[in-house]
Structure 1
Amino acid sequence: MIWIPPYKGWAAPLSSSAVVPSVVQFAGMRLKLTRGARKRMQAKVNQLIQAKKFFNQVVERTHLFFPIIEKILAKEGIPDDFKFLALHESMLVGDVVSSTNDVGFWQIHPVTALDLKLPIGYPVDERMHLLQSTKAAARLLKGHYAYFNSWLGAMLAYNRGRAGVVKLGIKQYYTAKVVWLDHTTDHYIIAVLATKLAFEKVAGKQKHPLWQLHIYDQGHHGHKLQDLAAYFNIERKLLSEHNKWLKAAVVPYHTKCALVVPISHTHLLRHAAFTPPKQRIDLKKVVSPLALPQQATACTSINYDPRSSNIFPTIVPCHELRNPRFIKANGKLAIIAQKGDTVATLAQLANLTVNRFLTVNDINKTDQPVPGMVYYYSEKGNKGGAHYHVVEIGESVWHVAQRYGIKLKMLLEKNRMREPEFLKVGQIVWLRFIRPRTIPIAYK
């Protein structure tokens, strides 16, 4: 939970909208408050609303983040009121870290993140990702609700864990639609309900004065954040602020995280629909049919379905080895390069000679490891796990070979290349079979 600074100035009289009522609605439940419960809740509401500058800053964040959180909660079957739980936990500061090492919008602990299968190391910490953390919190809340048959019990378990709720012995919450809260009610319930009462009439009710968030879920993998910022015509710093989940300069191929892009309202009016970068020749110039070679339209009999390529490389932890950096990419022992890695250090980790490491990965001694890229420790295969790949921005033949774990010479052979050639964005690369001579190079 984020710390709220105490208000040291003059306290304005509370408006009627800030007075705690005797009955509070939450997640379809009627929560009746005794005098003691109302007094405790009122003190918390006062603390939230009296620091006017802080209050207004939080409200602005709700205008930006609540629309996305609300959609995810609705899709996951979580009552809309739980958006105020996220507000209470972090005040919607995506990279906040608590004294107990809870992180992100929903303040998820490292142990809980492991249970939820959320990556939290380098180069990605999904606890700081608006979408991934909200989906994970929804899974956790649904599990607690299934156990207690109570959204109030689920809320409390989010903070105390199931064992902690059971220990409290509050069976009156289970299955109940009407619950009395009194002076002994757990402080976490009081705090979350106070957050709702303080903010609900203004939170998320207007457009953010500057930005609207655009969720960009394709075409960003393997690209530098600064290039993506140039593509969207925004400052790199602004893009970084909304993507604190990314710890590297390059978006890794294996991450499921979408890019969260703040776009000004005037820019949205000019660009109502965005075209994925993989359909562009460069970052600022859209591919038109006239820009493609004539033979691109000649091949219409084959259905080049690129959807399966989105899952590559397939990344799973390598539990057989003690080093947590080792993974299995496309079923082969591998590692994801980090900033500062060298060919020598990567080779040494797996007790390989430098020459062997260079050979396996089809690179030279002068090549520097690319942060976020997969590097293999065992020989790559002769074909890919998908039939075709659609070239994205910045991809070379070598990038495609690493992504699918294919030997570079085999990938060249399948695409009738004698040596690595420049790939155009949208070009179809064959991965499993050799492209017949009668079928020209095609573009998606």
Structure 2
Amino acid sequence: MKNLTNNLFKGVIFLSLLFLDPIGTLAQIPQVPREMYFADLTIRINEQARREIQLDVDALHRNQNYFKVKVDRANLYMPLIERELREIGVPEDIKYLVIQESGLIADAVSTSNAVGFWQFKQGTAEEVFLRVDNQVDERKNIVSSTRGAALYLRKHNSQLDNWMCALVSYQMGLGGAKSYFGNQYSGKKVIDLDRNSHWYFKKFLAHKVAFEGQNKMLVSNSGYLEEVRIQGPTSLKALAPRLGVSENHLKEYNKWASNGNIPGDKVYSVIYVNQGMPPTTPITAQVNSRPSGVENTSYSNNSSYPKITGNQQNATRPNQIKVNNINGVMAASTTTQSNFSQKIGIKEKKFRKINDLEKGARVESGKYYYVEKKKSHADVEKHVVLPGETLWSISQKYGITLSSLKAKNRIRSDRDLKTGMVLNLQEHRKRGESIPMVPGSEYRKIVEASNSPAVQTTASQNTQQEREQVRYEPAPSSQSSPQPPAQKVNPSRLTHTVIQGETLYRLSQTYGVSVDDIKKWNNLPDNNIKIGQIITIFKP
């Protein structure tokens, strides 16, 4: 009885320590499931393989202080890594491979002389367009090296047609993976893992299990990684005061610039820790999350574009803000392209090309302009054309190239643009498919939302003076976003400037009034209106 009592007491003490110990207990270590999902694959794991992977997971958690450092580092770098993988078209799950390869240590060097975040040898790095010499080693640049790794993996997957095989090819090369796997997994979506499965993939799954879901745990760092894209020649020393950090801070996070200098051969990504709050999640993360049966309103929040992040108090200075996650700048005053491009340190021809500007078009006060190439698609699926908008203004609003916008919608000029059209911003419209029009009742809500002072404040984050210019003193231009459809004079009286494609019937739908009322208020003898004509509307 005495021995039994002692054993029970010891058991209670052990269980108490197990649950009270904040470090490294079994209760804290995630367990390997019998079925996992990776990329577009379902991975079924037999018991022997599961135990093998679990041993690796346990080993990663064994030293909790070291594990915590890795989690902090992952939380800092992952938003940039995920973005680059997404843009290249590689599954985001691949992100755990960078932890496996280097532990996210920029200047990590393997015994085989592979270097950097993604452990590239020099020859392979140059194949994926990374510069490696005595001035620059982009293997140590988180943005460039992730893009290179994504290109490498995408190329291999296009031949192997299986993301598991493509991942293993990262360790053994394309030829080695082809020889090892043959065609047995080509196009296969369900994989059975056992003791004979490749060790490198099982080790990857261990990292996925260990680090997945840790993004809100064990985090001690404050702030987030901010990226600025710099066209040299310049130096980290010269950039430091402009970014509000020390030179040593930039050197710590930009070890790719071997001597602290940024050459002028191309644009380089410079990163630093911003102590503010990270940018909000783009609307794309929510576009397809609607319950079934809910009306498609993926364009309902488009009035919050362009998305402006960064140091908005210095928005008129270069390298301070991002417009739709692209480096941009706000014009402080109306000026020429030549003066503005010189002020922000970019060649006039390049500035004009980036922003799809016509030669001679004015740079307008309070407008946002890009200083690096726009994207081929927007972060939202659709856009409803509002009164006063042009193809150019829509392309600037979402950071999509003008040519892409035209191509996706098979539309050539503003003459073909009509208010209420639902334009594609991501997918190409099928040949012969007409552009749909949003219903009149919904269109009114969209127009009213776009004119809401609260929306305008959130969307532009401009000064009060700029908001007043946008709402009350629009300046028409062939290359800038024209005036909004209505400028308030009093709570019930609105004025509207007619643009291409509008009719009295369309205006009546927009504002919820009758055609006869519009004619009466404006002394119109018939239903004909002209582009540029000012129409008075009295809200009911």
Question: TM-score, with normalisation over the residues of structure 2?
Answer: 0.49
Cross-structure match for 1:306: 347
C-alpha displacement of 1:165: 1.2
Cross-structure match for 1:159: 171
Cross-structure match for 1:341: none
Q: Distance in 2 between matches of 1:223 and 1:12?
A: 46
Aligned with 1:245 (options 251, 256, 264): 256
Amino acid at match of 2:116: G
Cross-structure match for 1:256: 267
Aligned with 2:238 (options 227, 244, 256): 227
Query: Does the 8 Å CA contact 1:19/1:42 hold for their aligned counterparts?
Result: yes
Cross-structure match for 1:117: 129
Query: Does the 8 Å CA contact 2:68/2:219 hold for their aligned counterparts?
Result: no
SS in 1 for 2:221: coil
C-alpha displacement of 1:112: 0.7
Aligned with 2:47 (options 22, 35, 39): 35
C-alpha displacement of 1:261: 2.1
Cross-structure match for 2:145: 133
CA RMSD of aligned residues (A): 3.5
Cross-structure match for 1:63: 75
SS in 2 for 1:257: strand
Cross-structure match for 1:350: none
Task: Map residues 19-418 of structure 1 onto 2, 5 A cutoff.
Answer: 19-169=31-181, 171-203=183-215, 209-218=221-230, 221-265=232-276, 271-272=311-312, 275=315, 306=347, 308-309=349-350
Q: Deviations over 1:391-427 (max 9, x none)?
A: xxxxxxxxxxxxxxxxxxxxxxxxxxxxxxxxxxxxx
Query: Does the 8 Å CA contact 1:214/1:262 hold for their aligned counterparts?
Result: yes
SS in 2 for 1:195: helix
Identity rate, percent: 27
SS in 2 for 1:258: strand
Query: Does the 8 Å CA contact 2:316/2:330 hold for their aligned counterparts?
Result: no
Query: Does the 8 Å CA contact 1:156/1:165 hold for their aligned counterparts?
Result: yes
C-alpha displacement of 1:16: 6.9
Q: Deviations over 1:239-266 (max 9, x none)?
A: 1111111012321111331211222127
Q: Distance in 2 between matches of 1:209 and 1:94?
A: 18
Q: Which moved more, 1:117-126 or 1:138-147?
A: 117-126
> Which structure has the greater CA radius of gyration?
2
C-alpha displacement of 1:238: 1.2
Amino acid at match of 1:176: K
SS in 2 for 1:18: coil
Q: Distance in 2 between matches of 1:170 and 1:180?
A: 16
Amino acid at match of 1:124: V
C-alpha displacement of 1:145: 0.6
SS in 2 for 1:99: coil
C-alpha displacement of 1:223: 2.2
Cross-structure match for 2:443: none
Query: Does the 8 Å CA contact 1:66/1:83 hold for their aligned counterparts?
Result: yes
Q: Which moved more, 1:261-270 or 1:208-217?
A: 261-270
Query: Does the 8 Å CA contact 2:36/2:43 hold for their aligned counterparts?
Result: yes
SS in 2 for 1:176: coil
Cross-structure match for 1:434: none
C-alpha displacement of 1:75: 1.3
C-alpha displacement of 1:203: 3.4
List gaps (5 residues or longer) in structure 1. Answer: 1-9, 281-285, 291-295, 311-386, 389-444
Q: Distance in 2 between matches of 1:66 and 1:289?
A: 34
Amino acid at match of 2:103: M
C-alpha displacement of 1:38: 0.9
Question: TM-score, with normalisation over the residues of structure 1?
Answer: 0.59
Q: Distance in 2 between matches of 1:47 and 1:53?
A: 13
Q: Deviations over 1:246-294 (max 9, x none)?
A: 01232111133121122212799993465476599xxxxx99979xxxx
Query: Does the 8 Å CA contact 2:106/2:141 hold for their aligned counterparts?
Result: yes
C-alpha displacement of 1:173: 2.1
C-alpha displacement of 1:214: 1.3
Amino acid at match of 2:257: L
C-alpha displacement of 1:132: 0.8
Amino acid at match of 1:250: N
SS in 2 for 1:254: coil
Query: Does the 8 Å CA contact 1:105/1:130 hold for their aligned counterparts?
Result: yes
